[in-house]
Chain A
Amino acid sequence: MKRFKGFVRKEFYHIFRDKRSLFILFGMPIAQILLFGFAITNEINNVDIAVLDHSRDATTGEIINKIAASKYFSINEFIERETDIESVFQKGKIKAVLNFEKNFSRNLIRDNTATIQIITDATDPNTANTISNYTSSILRNYQQELNRDIQLAYQVLPEIRMVYNPELKGVFMFVPGVMTIILMLVSAMMTSISITREKELGTMEILLVSPLKPVLIIIGKVVPYIFLSVINAIVIIVLSIFVFKMPIQGSLFLLGVESVLFIITSLSLGILISTISTTQQTAMMVSLMGLMLPTILLSGFIFPISSMPVPLQVISNIIPAKWFIVLLKGIMLKGVGIVYLWKETLLLFGMALFFIVVSVRKYKIRLE
């Protein structure tokens, strides 16, 4: 046990004396969570739009005022001709143009219909989509006000309620994702690099010649990272609660247990990577390409799994991060307990076990 303690202490020296490790361990999680929380968001605010009003009557005036009053849009420019549309888009600042047809009011009253064309700059499809949804809904509101006194014969009234994240805050979606990525990065990449570093420098050989058991060498290298990952998880959760007002509906204890389970899964992946790579560079590339990329793309963190092609949906099942994100969202946002999450928990547990068994076997072969 004393030998083991000395080993772990040495590992901490390595970590705390390497500025790059320190940065990845502590700078990255904080930077990422703040970035995702503040800068990267699906919501739109104060988007600049232009108006091309061919009628300039009372109705168009009212609609323009309504749109200008919303916090989503600010009307930046009034243009005169159809040909100007192209050029305002090309300048880049304007993201949408509202084009009111001629005699808007008159058409509305006489024919009961009038048309507005909403043209959006779809170089960024997500924003374009959101803009058209928001303007449509403002227009729908206006229309309902017009018809307030008239009872339509047949009417379907959708009543919408968004549960678990009623304000549709993007950060609620990002926090579980970022936490997953960070834990994966710290646990898998950092351990695989630190183990291959010993191989590359030749110190692994010295350790293997010593009476220290190979299994203890690996555990000794991994323990500091479990410790640091747990600290990271705590930092992320505290930040998300206090900075982003993220609710933790479920049990904190369960959250902790599941996090440790995921950390162990990632660590065993890291060990596995270190058994197949001989240089730190390879270990890093394998971790980034083989782990981080699929984790970001296929875990449902950014892109919803349900809208992926079927083969990708199948592949996403073998990505531990997918299950961890389901668990995190379940505990944090829905407040459900183990009764509903046992399946995901078991899956993660099975994966951890599998990776540990495979890497221990692989590791033995390396010693031959």
Chain B
Amino acid sequence: MDNQPIIQVESLTKRFGDFSAVDAITFKVDKGEIFGFLGANGAGKTTAMKMLIGISNPTSGKAHVAGYDVFTQAESIKKSIGYMSQKFALYDDLTVKENITFFGGIYGLSGAQIKEKTALMIEELELHEVAHQLVGALPLGWKQKISFSVALLHNPKIVFLDEPTGGVDPITRRQFWEMIYKTAHNGTTVFVTTHYMDEAEYCDRVSIMVNGKIEALDTPKRLKEQFEVDSMNDVFLKLARG
């Protein structure tokens, strides 16, 4: 089973009336991969992702996430994935510790597990001084690192990140990507959408969506060769301008 792709999507479509937000996309993601999901605003990235994480029903097509069917087994999918959205995933009026306890709780972790995870997270992210502070008082970069760790609390097989680094300074972005690498190294698949083309270079493979369709899908290196350019930025511009 280990050789099976962890995400398998075939002609997945979402229509709102006459408009196809996602138009028959097909792709696979392997276990432990960092998969970049790129596209301009309104290209359909978020809609596609919402179908994969089970909060939006596809119109047609097939999709399996972590071995479960998105049409019939959305509940099982939810247990196997982590999710961090572009808006903050944390409650500003709860302390760091309370946030961890809460999210651990809704994912069904036991009290002992939560304690252990909390201690580990405080150690790794060096949160000793802020553990009892309200999240609202923390800088953006910290919040994002914490919410990423929170999304990983229940050891999901896949973690979905929806523009996780929006509005963060370059140093924090760099640190954030180090966390992503570490996660992938530990065997968790990372499915990430981003606006930043330099980040696309860090991914194992990237797909680029234009108007609801996947127009390119390969490693960054081969995509650059294919379009005969030097950077992912130029690949993206070439595609987006048609």
> What distance in Å separates the Cβ of B44 from its nearest Cβ neighbour in chain A?
17
Q: Does A92 contact B (CB under 8 A)?
A: no
Q: How distant is the Cα of A10 from the Cα of B107 in the complex, in angstroms?
A: 14
Query: A206-B89, A210-B106, A367-B55 are known contacts. Are A6 and B83 too (CB-CB below 8 A)?
Result: no
In this complex, what residue of A is CB-closest to B87?
A202
A10 pairs with B89, CB closer than 8 A? no
Binding-face segment, B91-99, B123-131, B190-198: B91-99
Is B101 a contact of A209 with CB atoms below 8 Å? no
Among B42-66, those with CB < 8 Å from A are 53-57
Known pairs A211-B75, A368-B56; A203 contacts B91 (CB<8 A): yes
Chain A residues within an 8 Å CB radius of B102: 6-7, 9-10
Q: How far is the CA of A211 from the CA of B88 in the complex (A)?
A: 19
Choice from A3, A7, A206, A367 contacting B108 with Cβ under 8 Å: A3
Given the complex of chains A and B, what is the CA–CA distance between A203 and B86 in angstroms? 11
Closest-CB distance, A47 to chain B (whole angstroms): 51
Contact at A13–B87, with CB atoms within 8 Å? no
Q: Which residues of A contact B89 (CB under 8 A)?
A: 202-203, 206
Given known pairs A18-B93, A368-B57, the reply for A209 and B106 (CB within 8 Å) is no
Do A201 and B94 form a contact, CB below 8 Å, given A3-B105, A367-B55, A368-B56? no
Task: Point out the residues of chain A lying under 8 angstroms from B108, CB to CB.
Answer: 2-3, 211
A202→B134 CA distance, assembly (Å): 18
Decide yes or no whether A205 CB sits under 8 A from chain B. Answer: yes
Residue in B86, B89, B107 with the greatest tally of chain A CB atoms within 10 Å: B89
A210 to B108, CA, bound (A): 10
- Given the complex of chains A and B, what is the CA–CA distance between A5 and B83 in angstroms? 22
B54 partner, pick from A17, A202, A209, beta carbons under 8 A = A209
A283-B53 Cα distance, complex, nearest whole Å: 28
Q: Among residues 72 to 115 in chain B, which have CB atoms less than 8 Å away from a CB atom of chain A?
A: 75, 78-79, 81, 83, 85-94, 98, 101-103, 105-108
A202 to chain B, nearest CB (A): 3
Known A-B contacts A6-B106, A211-B79, A211-B108; A13 and B57 likewise in contact (beta carbons under 8 Å): no
CB distance from A4 to the nearest CB of B (A): 9
Q: How far is the CA of A10 from the CA of B135 in the complex (A)?
A: 14
A267 to chain B, nearest CB (A): 22
- A13 near B55: Cβ-Cβ < 8 Å: no
If A13-B98, A14-B93 touch, whether A210 touches B55 (CB-CB below 8 Å) is no
For A214, the closest partner residue in chain B by CB is: B55
Chain B residues with Cβ below 8 Å from A210 are 78, 103, 106-107
Per the bound structure, the CA–CA distance linking A144 and B107 in Å amounts to: 82
Is A308 interfacial (CB 8 A cutoff)?
no
A211 and B105 form a contact (CB under 8 A): no
**In the complex, per-residue mask of B177-211: 1 if CB is within 8 Å of any chain A CB, else 0:** 00000000000000000000000000000000000
Enumerate chain B residues within 8 angstroms of A367, measured Cβ to Cβ: 55
Nearest Cβ on chain A to B54's Cβ, whole angstroms: 7
Categorize the interface residue count of chain B.
20 to 34
Given the interface pairs A3-B108, A13-B94, A367-B55, the reply to whether A206 lies near B79 with Cβ below 8 Å is no
Given contacts A201-B88, A202-B85, A210-B78, contact A7 B53 (CB under 8 A): no
- In the complex the two chains form, is A201's CB within 8 Å of B87's CB? yes
**DSSP class of B's interface residues: helix, strand, loop or mixed?**
loop
Q: Give the distance to chain A from B108, nearest Cβ to Cβ, in Å.
A: 6
Q: Determine whether the beta carbon of A205 is less than 8 Å from that of B78.
A: no
Partner pick for B55 among A17, A202, A209, A211, CB 8 A cutoff:
A209
**Contact between B88 and A202 (Cβ–Cβ < 8 Å)?**
yes
Q: Which residues of B contact A211 (CB under 8 A)?
A: 75, 78-79, 106-108
Q: A3-B105, A3-B106, A13-B94 are in contact. Are A209 and B83 (CB under 8 A)?
A: yes
Contact B85 A6 (CB under 8 A): no
In the complex, A3→B104 CA distance in Å?
Answer: 9
A209 contacts B81, CB within 8 Å?
yes
Tell me the nearest residue of chain B to A367, going by C-beta. B55
**How far, in whole Å, are A367 and B41 apart by their CA atoms in the complex?**
22
The minimal Cβ–Cβ distance linking B97 to chain A, given in whole angstroms, is 12
CB-CB under 8 A from A5, the residues of chain B are: 105
B93: chain A residues at CB < 8 Å are 13-14, 17-18
Give CA–CA (A205, B162) in the complex, Å: 12
B83 engages A212 (CB within 8 Å): no
A2 to B55, CA, bound (A): 24
Nearest neighbor of B104 in chain A, beta-carbon distance: A6
Asked if B83 and A206 make an inter-chain contact with CB atoms under 8 angstroms apart, the answer reads: yes
* Residue A208 lies at the interface, judged by CB distance under 8 Å to chain B: yes
Residues of B within 8 Å of A201, CB to CB, are 87-88, 92
Q: Using an 8 Å CB-CB cutoff, how does the interface string of A1-38 with B read, 1 for contact, 0 for none? A: 01101110110011001100000000000000000000
A207 contacts partner chain B, Cβ-Cβ < 8 Å: yes
Point out the residues of chain B lying under 8 angstroms from A14, CB to CB.
91, 93-94
Residues of chain B contacted by A13 (CB below 8 angstroms): 91, 93-94, 98
User: What is the chain A residue whose CB lies nearest that of B75?
Assistant: A211
Closest to B56 in A: A368
B94 contact set on A, CB distance < 8 A: 10, 13-14
Q: Which chain B residues have a beta carbon within 8 Å of chain A's beta carbons?
A: 53-57, 75, 78-79, 81, 83, 85-94, 98, 101-103, 105-108, 134
List the 5 closest pairs (A to B, CB-CB), nearest first: A202-B87, A6-B105, A209-B83, A211-B78, A17-B93
Q: What would 14 A/B residue contacts be, using CB atoms closer than 8 Å?
A: A2-B105, A9-B102, A10-B98, A10-B102, A13-B91, A201-B87, A201-B88, A201-B92, A203-B90, A205-B55, A209-B53, A210-B106, A211-B106, A212-B106
